[in-house]
Structure 1
C-alpha cells in the first residue's frame, strides 16, 4: 500500500473518531441541560400539599351567606387546592333537613366529581372531651363517634377535636387524657386519627398539650398545629373574646407541636402591601414545618376582615407558596 493512500485512510479514521466524540459530547450536554431543568422544577415544588379549611368560607356558607356548604369542593378546585378540610358545624342545618347520611353521600359525590381529596373534619359543638365531669366526657365521646364514622366514609385521615375542659392544669390533664383515650380507641377501629388543635385555654400551651397526648399512648392521636391560636386565657374566663394572656413564644410552640403533627393549619389575618402576613412570620413558620420533616397537607384558614374571604384565601395560598420557594 503506497504511503499516500495510507495517509488518506488514517485521516478518514481520525475524522470519524472526532465526529463520534463530538456527538457523544453533544448528547452529554443535552442530557446535563435536561437534568438541570428537571432538578430546577423539582426544587421549586413545595414540600407540602395544599388544602382549604372550610372555616375560610364560614361567612359565605353561614346563615347570611350565599354559598352552599355543598359547593365546598367546587370552590376549592376553583382556587387551585387539591384537598379540603370540613367544619362540622357548617352542616348543622343540612343535617337537620336531610340527615347526616344524605349529607355525607352528597359530600363524597361532590369531592369525587371535582377530583378533590377529603383530608379531615373539624368537629365543634359535640360536647367537651376534657370536661371535669366524667358523665359529660363520656357523652362527648359518644357524640364524636358519628364523626369518626363520617371521616372514614369520606376517606379522611383524621377528625380534629377540642379539649377545653377547665383552666386547672392538673384537673384538665387527667380529664383530657381520659376523653381522648376513649375516643381514640374507637377511632382506631376505623383507621381514623384523633388530632387536637391549639384552640384556646390549656390546649394552646404546647408543653401541657403534648404531655397529655403522650400520656394517651396511642399512635392515632396527634396534633394539628395552628399558626395563630395561642391564647391561653381570655377576659372573664370566656372561651372566645379578648385575649388577656398568650403563650409567650408561638414559634417555639409550633416547633414543639410539630413533633406529633398529623396536619398543619396556616392561619392568616391580614397582609401588607408586599403580601406578607402582618402578625405571623410565614417564612419562619414554614421553615419550622419543613425542618420537622412534614410533607402532608397544609390548610389555608383565613380569618381576617379587611379582605374578602376569597381574597384572603388566595393571599394566604400565594404567601405559602412564596415562603416555601424561599426555603429551596
Structure 2
C-alpha cells in the first residue's frame, strides 16, 4: 500500500504529474485538432450542501440554479437531499421536468447511507446491494447514466477486494438490466488507495462498472495524516472512469487551487482518453459556495483552453 505524509504528497505528486504532462501530448493535440471539447463541466450538488441543509436552497431548484447562476448545463444529484423520494414518481417527475425545462442534463446520483457493498457479512452485503436498487430505478427515471456508490469493506486488503467486487458485480448486473452504470468513487479508507480500487475493477470485469476519480478524496487515514498520492491515484483510476470529480477547497490570488495542480491533473484525465463531464465539487470554507463554484469553473475553463492550445 502506497502512503504519503501530507507534507510530501503535493511535492511528490506534482513532480510526477509534471513528468506525465509530457507523456501523451500527441493525444491531447489530436483531440484539440478535431475541435472537440476536451471535456465538459457539470455541477455536483454537494457543492451547495450547506445552503441546501440550511433550507436556503430547495433541492428541486438545483437544476435551475445550476443553469442560471453558473451557466452549467449538467448536474450530479446527491441522494441524501431526496432520500425519501427514491420511489416517489410524482417527485421524480418534478425533478425531471425542471431539469429538462432548463435544458440541464441529469448525469448521475451520488449514493450514500445504503450499507457497505463490501460487507464481510453475506446477509448485510446482500441487503446493501438491494438497498441500491431503488436508486438505480430512480436514476433510470431521471435520465441519468449512472449511480455513484462506495466500495467500503472491513476486511483485509485482498479479502476486501473480493468482497467489494462481489457486491459491485451483483449490483452492476441489476444496473445493466436498467441501462444504468455503477461507478465507484475513491471515498476514504481502502477505496482511497488507487491500486486497491483499480484491483477491484479488474475483479468485477464488467464494462458497466467503473470509477469516479475524485481529486481530493485520497485520505487513507486522516488521524495519522496518511494520504495516497492523488496524481498516482487518479492515473490508476482513469482507465475505468465514467465520470470525474474536480474537488476544490481553496484558491490563491491567481485562481489556482492550492491543493491540486489542476493543469497537471486534467492532463492526466485528458491523456487517458476521457472527454466526458468533469463535475465541480467545491468543499471550501474561505469562499462562499457560489464563489467557490465559480472559481472552480473558471479554473477548469482556463485549463481546458491551455490544454487545447
Shift in Å, 1:95 = 2.9
Aligned residue number for residue 74 of structure 2: 83
2:185 is aligned to 197
Tell me whether 1:307 sits opposite 2:287 in the alignment.
Answer: yes
Residue number among 68, 79, 98 corresponding to 2:58 in the alignment: 68
State the alpha-carbon separation in 2 of the partners of residues 160 and 291 from structure 1: 23
Distance 2:144 2:172 in 1: 15
SS of the counterpart of 1:73? helix
Q: Map 1:158-173 onto structure 2 (within 5 A).
A: 158-166=146-154, 168-173=156-161
Identify the residue that residue 201 of structure 2 maps to in structure 1: 213
| DSSP 3-state at the match of 2:42 | strand
The superposition leaves residues 230-281 of structure 1 with CA deviations (integer Å, 9 ceiling, x where unpaired) of 011233xxxxxxx63111x211211111011000000000100100001100
CA deviations 1:169-214 (Å, max 9, x no partner) are 1231121011001100100101111000001111111111111111
Q: C-alpha displacement at 1:46, in angstroms?
A: 4.0
Deviations 1:11-54 (A, max 9, x none): xxxxxxxxxxxxxxxxxxxxxxxxxxxxxx98887411111000
Aligned partner of residue 273 in structure 1, secondary structure: coil
8 Å contact kept, 1:46–1:321 = no
By relative contact order (CA 8 Å, sep 6+), the higher-ranking structure is 2
The residue that corresponds to 2:116 in the other structure is 128
CA offset digits 1:107-156 (Å, max 9, x no partner) = 10111110100100000111111111111110011110010011111111
Contact 1:270 1:277 in 2 (8 A): yes
Deviations 1:285-309 (A, max 9, x none): 1111111111111000000001000
Task: Find the counterpart in structure 2 of residue 278 from structure 1.
Answer: 258
Displacement after TM superposition at 1:319 (Å): 0.2
Asked if the contact 1:198–1:229 (Cα under 8 Å) also holds between the matched residues in 2, the reply is: yes
Q: Give the TM-score taking structure 1 as reference length.
A: 0.81
Task: State the distance in 2 between where 1:143 and 1:95 align.
Answer: 14
Of the three residues 168, 188, 210, the one matched with 2:176 is: 188
Unmatched tracts of structure 2, length 5 or more: 1-31
Q: C-alpha distance in 2, partners of 1:88/1:296?
A: 22
Task: Say which is worse superposed, 309-318 or 212-221, in terms of deviation.
Answer: 212-221
Q: Tell me, yes or no, if structure 1 residue 111 matches structure 2 residue 92.
A: no
Map of 1:49 onto structure 2: 40
Task: Name the larger-Rg structure.
Answer: 1
Partner of 1:150: 138
Alpha-carbon spacing, 1:171–1:234, altered in 2? closer, same or farther (3 Å): farther
Give the TM-score taking structure 2 as reference length: 0.86
- Are the counterparts in 2 of residues 82 and 117 from structure 1 also a CA contact under 8 Å? yes
Q: Could you say what secondary structure the match of 1:58 adopts?
A: helix
- Count of aligned residue pairs for this structure pair: 276
Counterpart of 1:101? 89
> What are the ranges of 5 or more consecutive residues in structure 1 without an aligned counterpart?
1-40, 236-242
Partners of 1:216 and 1:42 in 2: CA distance: 36
- Name the structure 2 match of 1:5: none
Residue in 2 that maps onto 1:245: 226
